[in-house]
Structure 1
Amino acid sequence: MKVLHIINSLNIGGAQNLLLDSIDYYKKKNIKITVLSLSTNFKPLTNQKSDVIKVIDSDNPKSFKSFFCLFKYLNNHEFDIIHAHLFPTIYYCSIFKKIGLFENPLVITEHSTYNKRRKHKINKPIEKFIYNEFDKVVCISDGTEKQLNKWLKIGHKTEIIYNGVSLNKFVSKKSIVNIEDKNIIKIIMVANFLPQKDQLTVVKAMKRLDKRYELYFVGDGSEISHIKKQVEKLNLDERVFFLGKRNDVPNLLRKMDLFVLSSKWEGFGLVVIEAMASGLPVIASDVIGLSEIVNGYGALFELGDFESLSKKIFKLTQDNQIYSEYVSKSILRANHFSLEKMVNNYIDLYQNLIE
């Protein structure tokens, strides 16, 4: 089976990381996979998988050049399944199928519970027109499916396949932590600096915690300058650290004591599973996409409520028994979301569409 995955770019991000990590699992199942990026903006180490990765020579996936080059590529290559990710890639593929460029099954993955196109009802008929060409729309969580069907009512096309994590990359072998006796408690949040991620809430929570607590941000983005200014304004320079984009996230997670994610919305929150697999207790905002994963296995706080977040951080790190219980819950939860299981589910889907 020949499968083409098309994505805007291979820069650092949840969907991008997931796709790159899954390549080896597809190969083990004898799937001839090709990954096509619509721009040259890609993460380091991508060249290690250069045998399956193809890149369109463009710096902007929304450009006419990317659109035309994708048209040309699809016109010159044959695949059994075409699988598209993210906007505008999903729009391009829908249009190409509409005009008869290819007849193969077209699959997309819906990676989020929300996007800006849903802000305006005028976009709904356009979206219905686009989504009509997809043979299957894979939603990465129950919340993602519900929000999509609330918007477009296309339940006959949707199927839930949960994201997965390469668990072996994140499993921690560190000894049991005596959290009560630690002089420094290290908190980490891994997320790009975008309005969606709301790092400011975590910064404000830090102001209410004593000097034993340190916060480490991993990621980059348009909001980072603003967040840095707020850190300075709150005199947290010596306790809040910005690590930028990193390729050693598994190793960083092993050095931390607690994981926090304050997003306003998420499709799934893959990084939460990575943290859980690393044996970190997780505290996350109580929003669709995160609550589905964290509820019962970690702690949830109301969106934007930094006082509640600070109290939960404090409570979780003051008692060894409570902390250890959350560590065990995290590991248990992570084991439900292996990358191998996810890939197997996709292969089953592809085979059903071909048959």
Structure 2
Amino acid sequence: MKVAFVFDGLGFGGIERVGIDYIKIFRDMGYDIDVYNLAPNQNEMLKELPDGCKIINYKLSRKECPETYSYGAKRWWWGKYAYPLINIALVVYLFFKKLFFIKRKDKYDIVIAFSGHYNDLTFVANNFIKSNYKICWLHGALAEYLLLSHGYATLYSKIKNLVTLSDWMQQAALYGNRILDGTNIKKIYNPVSISNKKVDWEFVNELKEKYGEFILMVGRFSKQKDQKTVVRAIKILRDKYGINNKLVFVGDGEERISVEKLVSELNLDDVVFFVGSRLDVYNFYAAAKLFVHSSPAEGLPTVILEAMSFGLPIVATNSLPGVEEILKNNTYGLICEVGNEEMMAEKIATMLKDNNVYEHYSRKSKERIKDFLPEKISNELKNFINELV
């Protein structure tokens, strides 16, 4: 069986890492894999792909996709007049762009829009490559995407087969979007295999010597990740609770300079450290004492699962639906309100000051991660594919 994965870039990120894990599962199942990268300048993760994968670079940006602009029809009074014109223009544009690309003779059994963004969804929904079956991966709940824009519903209705990470408010979302009647929807958790990586224990010891029992956050620096709440929580930990554990950020992005500025303003330069994007992030999980996560909203945060696979206790904001889906009302980690640095500091202090609590949630992390092991997900995926074909 021949399968194509379509990505909106292969830079550093959780979606990309999960996609590579799925590619490895498909390869283990005996499938031939081609990978389409629609943002060729984002290619840092290419080296992580298994041997034998064929890479096809083809530029298609979100700005070229009609549904990108569908939110404007409801957001602004003039949007309902402008969007139809934009839609017609881009549909014609894509028709001619596809004519040129479709000269490729490749034909697939299954093609997967894995990033779940407008460009890879458009690429798959509009048959830029030929396939017997189409699937798209939703990195969260269906309701999340439909609340953002009706454009997603339009594309999902063309693809027909959806994989979600959570069924949060799904029935209500479907009731309000009859265009999706008859759509095949399956919840499958992301596989997490990072604990199988070969840890460099010498480097891990160096990290421990440099940062001590440090708190770790992994993620792209953007407003959607809200690292500033974590920084403010670290300030409260030091001033209110007398806790001086260092904080290490792994990641890069447009908000990094702003966060670095806040660190300096709060006089935390000796406590908060930035190490940039790392391919060897597993070494940081192995070295850390505790993992924090502060996003306002997340589908199913891969970084939380990766941290859990190393037995790290978790403190996370209640970014729906993903954090609740994983931590289950504080059963597998401590949840605090979004943007509430006081509550986050309190939860971290509870973990670090009470060893019984710390050990309890370390065990709970190891227990919960069993639901995300590649072997379990592989069986669910096989069943889904068998039902599909």
1:185 aligns with 2:213: yes
Quote the Cα distance in structure 2 between the aligned partners of 1:236 and 1:70.
Answer: 56
Quote the Cα distance in structure 2 between the aligned partners of 1:103 and 1:144.
Answer: 31
Shift of residue 173, structure 1, vs aligned partner: 12
Quote the Cα distance in structure 2 between the aligned partners of 1:230 and 1:328.
Answer: 34
Q: Paired residue for 2:332, among 297, 305, 314?
A: 297
1:81 aligns with 2:81: no
Alignment map for 1:335-346 (pairs within 5 Å): 335-346=370-381
Secondary structure at the aligned position of 2:108 is classed as coil
Shift of residue 315, structure 1, vs aligned partner: 1.1
CA contact (8 A) 1:316 1:323 kept: yes
Aligned to 1:201: 229
1:294 maps to a residue whose letter is L
Quote the Cα distance in structure 2 between the aligned partners of 1:265 and 1:151.
Answer: 22
Deviations 1:285-330 (A, max 9, x none): 1132111101211000011110010011111111221111111001
Quote the Cα distance in structure 1 between the aligned partners of 2:272 and 2:386.
Answer: 49
TM-score (norm 1): 0.85
Quote the Cα distance in structure 2 between the aligned partners of 1:226 and 1:199.
Answer: 10
CA contact (8 A) 1:185 1:212 kept: no
Quote the Cα distance in structure 1 between the aligned partners of 2:262 and 2:369.
Answer: 33
Aligned to 1:230: 262
Q: Paired residue for 2:177, among 127, 152, 170?
A: 152
CA contact (8 A) 1:166 1:338 kept: yes
CA contact (8 A) 2:111 2:133 kept: yes
Quote the Cα distance in structure 2 between the aligned partners of 1:59 and 1:133.
Answer: 19
Structure 2 CA distance for partners of 1:56 and 1:132, relative to 1, 3 Å: same
Quote the Cα distance in structure 2 between the aligned partners of 1:231 and 1:162.
Answer: 35
Alignment map for 1:62-141 (pairs within 5 Å): 62=63, 68=97, 72=101, 75-85=104-114, 86-87=116-117, 88-96=119-127, 102=130, 104-113=132-141, 118-119=147-148, 123-124=149-150, 126-141=151-166
Aligned to 1:177: none
Aligned pairs, number? 338
Secondary structure at the aligned position of 1:274 is classed as helix
Quote the Cα distance in structure 2 between the aligned partners of 1:169 and 1:52.
Answer: 21
Structure 2 CA distance for partners of 1:150 and 1:168, relative to 1, 3 Å: farther
CA contact (8 A) 1:167 1:335 kept: no
Secondary structure at the aligned position of 1:76 is classed as coil
2:52 maps to a residue whose letter is D
Q: Unpaired segments of 5 or more residues in structure 2?
A: 66-92, 202-210
Shift of residue 343, structure 1, vs aligned partner: 3.2
Structure 2 CA distance for partners of 1:151 and 1:311, relative to 1, 3 Å: farther
Higher relative contact order (CA 8 A, sep 6+): 1
Q: Paired residue for 1:217, among 227, 245, 249?
A: 249
Structure 2 CA distance for partners of 1:206 and 1:173, relative to 1, 3 Å: same
1:161 aligns with 2:193: no
TM-score (norm 2): 0.78
Structure 2 CA distance for partners of 1:343 and 1:258, relative to 1, 3 Å: same
Quote the Cα distance in structure 2 between the aligned partners of 1:216 and 1:146.
Answer: 40
Aligned to 1:178: none
Quote the Cα distance in structure 2 between the aligned partners of 1:58 and 1:14.
Answer: 21
Structure 2 CA distance for partners of 1:243 and 1:60, relative to 1, 3 Å: farther
